[in-house]
Structure 1
Amino acid sequence: ALNSFKIKELKGKNAADLAKEIDKEYADAGDEYPKSVIIGSSEDDAELYSLPAVNWIAHMPEPILYVNKKGIPEETAQALKKRDGKANIYILGPKKAVSKTTEDALKEFGTVKRISGDT
């Protein structure tokens, strides 16, 4: 049934790497990297805060990129650098999911807005 479709499998060595590859696909499809990105945590205890991104991504050409408790993974930094310091960055989750330190570090790549909630 899928013979008439072109299928491409994307792989990554971790969540941040896979997200970077998906981000590149957005850019290839739209001839440029989307200026807006969603930032979520790849940590098990915070991943549910990223769940609302499913609806957002389904309606907007904006990717999700990941951070973790250590900060900004290199793969995420590489993807954000493609926006030349002009990204619109939306963090999903409270400070317990994505730290204030990581939020401040993300400002190097553009404007940062946190969308938060207790749960």
Structure 2
Amino acid sequence: VYRSKKWQPEDPETMTRKTKWTELLDCVFSENTDGIGVQDLPDECQRSVEDLVILQAESAELHQNIAKLSEHEQFIIKSIYFDGMKQVELAKKLEISKVRMSQKVSAILKKMRKMYEIG
């Protein structure tokens, strides 16, 4: 039970927001109708196929590990790291102290590190 009355799980559309790199990977590795691919990226954005495959695997693992978190933990991580919200702003939204927010983020990140260690 959460003390904050303002926190609500986000709708599925909002929960699927991705970082720019993930969007790039989705574009590169999916069949798209406009035919854009790696060769169409500016030279400074091009990466080796090996780098892109590694990045795609890491992105998939990240999203799988985020999916293992509780809805509340997912909301916190996605708000801060995907939506760019500051911890202070999120703390106000959830009606908790900045210190408590920092503690929650640290605990979630520690939990995710353990997920990576376990594999």
TM-score by length of 2: 0.31
Structure (1 or 2) with the greater strand fraction: 1
Greater relative contact order (Cα < 8 A, sep 6+): 2
Structure (1 or 2) with the greater helix fraction: 2
